[in-house]
Chain A
């Protein structure tokens, strides 16, 4: 039916029905969205608000919160200690990933090829990952002791004993060892999950074509693992840049010896909670946030991951 100026018009009853349907649909959505409200409120209160407040704080200084603009950012980015903390964090993270990713992958492949005892090894390697870092670090203090397990093993192999935590470079390697030990189980489990999802048809077809075990591993397994390795690479970087507890437990608040274990989060912690410079600590947090964002963007491009 056409009314007036040639436009097609809907009958009032149909319009009413359509409106009711729309209202009913909207109310139905509204009803379910109400269930999300507690979570949204929680996120807004405990994540969004602190983030905004932290950003505001990053522009202030002192107990009276005097506005200083970008001065705190400038102080962070010109701080020698901050760059030292960045270097330490990158050093530990790069070596942690370089060791844990390939090692975890190889161990996962070995466990996957076992016909018996798979679960035993899964549990064995995953246990460190569920151990509290504080407890693990306390044990590592004993392992890295001048008369500890590591020096004992090294001396049996003919290497000289090292005072691991007394020298800047060896102290960093102490943290690398601890973090690899703690993270390896997670790498193995993720890799195992991916390995088990690769269809056995590929391997059977390759066997029929005469491919060796190594060729199967190289041509089938590795190309199918890029997804999980990419995820582990990105997650490892993010976790590595946020590292605190392992370095803190072995090096204390200042990252001793001589700041060699002082990480970016350690810098934030010391300036915020040690020296009450909340503005500067907040600015450093935002610098870290930008840094993580940049590294993650770079990593997703490198690993060609679609996020």
Chain B
């Protein structure tokens, strides 16, 4: 009897512990929104051709997203949460329910991979789309596009091509995702410093030579204020991407191919060597701490003492709005390959459908919805700190027109190199970056550094 009691005590205790541990271990990121009802089969239909779609759609998003409204600590402005697009989508498709799974940028590829393999969501934000497409984890979209005669021309030029990827059986890059977050890098310059030095502003699409000449002129004691000025700055971590972009202006390109097995890189071409030498030379006109990412902290503020920043994310328009320097800082286009008509690293984020999703049709509706005016306007108004519009019609929005730098940003987003540099999803990205840094530190000549980058990258690619 006593033994029976002990056994039942242990069982009870274990059950309680298990329940408690389960409760503690529960880490459900799914942001279920209160007040939404479960999908019902007899939901009222709407005029949309697919309005009879029902079910719960799980959407994974990465970055600074939240379902609820939140206040920006920098600007103090309250922005609307994702509930806005959720409500609109559910209104357009009665009987559906949208659940967001929000996560940060830390280890986002690994988390997405796990989610895709476990069918944790229907729609995924996949900036690393190529990696998942090659494993056949994403749904190809061409048949959906053809079926609905979906107009891809609404997107900015290159935004669809930029996210093309290859599945294991594809012969050419295909569409696996539709863009919803736009991004680019731009040359940004301080007009006030140009005025102080009596130097003509940068042209809309400057050449590297123009930049060097003007940066050299504006390095030294400012003739008006007497303070030390620097002609140029860049982000050391992005130096390899800058070199690649300068290379494009000289007619070069990163290489050819898409998948590792047929990829040929061209890191040590003469145009690459010339481009790296250009950056080594430009470093003379940069703050002394530029290779450590120091000395440019005041750029975009009223205290700025640097004339040109070689690569700035488009979010600078938000910073200058906060610091009140909108009239002082302007943007110019990155360099582009004269024959290909494009240049600069493609960036941003697309949405894609998991190939094991049970709601593919509904997920496809979400993808279309994310490229629509409502969604894109929401992103512009409430998520501007992490997103630029990806559709052509954004150029006509009053709020966009009110920001003069936006026309350059949208134009830049239309001429980025597509498909995005595939070598960046593997070790060649780090190999190139490491060797570019060595040349910038004068630990190797540009030729030596790039020869090593070429050899190490080729060895790595052949081992894949």
Contact = CB atoms under 8 A, between A and B. Distances in A.
B10 A31 contact: yes
Interface string A269-284: 0110111110000000
Category for how many chain A residues contact B = 20 to 34
Given A27-B6, A277-B427, A166 B434 contact: no
Nearest to B107: A273
Nearest to B290: A166
Contacts of B464: 62
A111 B306 CA distance: 49
Contact of A258 (B21, B293, B295, B441): B441
B247 interface: no
B115 interface: no
Contact of A257 (B6, B109, B110, B291): B291
A163 B292 contact: yes
A114 interface: no
Query: Chain B contact residues: over half helix, strand or loop, or mixed?
Result: helix
Nearest to A170: B292
A259 interface: yes
Nearest to B110: A273
Given A274-B430, A276-B131, A257 B237 contact: no
Contacts, number: 87
B292 A275 contact: no
B236 A257 contact: yes
B266 interface: no
B71 interface: no
A254 B135 CA distance: 27
Given A146-B294, A163-B288, A163-B292, A273 B109 contact: yes
Interface string B412-449: 00000000000001110110011001100101000000
Interface string B159-175: 00000000000000000
A17 interface: no
A37 B14 contact: yes
B237 A256 contact: yes
Interface string B125-169: 000000100110000000000000000000000000000000000
A37 to B, nearest CB: 7
B81 to A, nearest CB: 27
A38 interface: yes
A271 B437 contact: no
Nearest to A274: B430
Contacts of B321: none
Interface of A: 27, 31, 34, 37-38, 62-63, 75, 81, 141, 145-146, 163-168, 171, 252-254, 256-259, 270-271, 273-277
- Smallest CB-CB A-B distances: 6 pairs: A165-B292, A166-B292, A166-B291, A146-B289, A258-B437, A63-B135
Given A38-B21, A81-B434, A257-B292, 19 more contacts: A27-B3, A27-B6, A31-B6, A141-B294, A145-B294, A146-B294, A146-B295, A165-B289, A165-B294, A254-B433, A254-B437, A256-B236, A256-B237, A256-B437, A257-B441, A258-B438, A275-B425, A275-B429, A276-B109
